[in-house]
Amino acid sequence: MTNDLPPMPGHAPKPAAKKRRNLIIAAVVAVAVAIGGTAYWLSRPSYDDIVKGCQKALTAQVKAGGKGKPGACKGVKKDDYDTLVIASVIDGMPKKDKDLLDYYDNGTIDGSIG
């Protein structure tokens, strides 16, 4: 009886090609996710941009006589929002009323108040 099969190699074949392929695919996916995440992070507005947008919305709202928190102020921290509201109210005051807020007293009797 003759054997039609090719002779067996002297050692078992290594699955290195399959491992290498999986590592390459994993590396490519990791790089793609890193690039995509970085692009997404860079495209988002900074906190300063959000605060500036809120400030513009509050100014427009004060001029229009509106009330409530504008949608542009959604991402602003409470302390910063309170500061922006107070600043926009003061900016919306007539000059005569603002002048009462801007007095200076140097501690001497020379009429520095007023």
Task: Give the span between the Cα atoms of 12 and 109, in whole angstroms.
Answer: 102
Write out pLDDT tens, residues 11-43: 666 667 778 888 999 999 999 999 999 999 888
Backbone Cα Rg of the chain? 35
Residue pLDDT, tens place only, 32-75: 999 999 999 888 888 999 999 998 888 888 778 778 888 888 88
Structure tokens at 54: 């809120």
The residue ranges of every structural domain in the chain are: 16-45, 46-103
Cβ atoms 78, 69 nearer than 8 A:
no
Helix (H) or strand (E) holding 83: helix 78-91
**Of 20, 22, 72, the residue nearest 49 (C-alpha):** 72
> Which residue, chain included where needed, has tokens 């005569």?
96
Tell if the pTM clears 0.75, that is, is over it. no
Q: How far is CA 19 from CA 11, 13, 24, in A?
A: 18, 13, 9
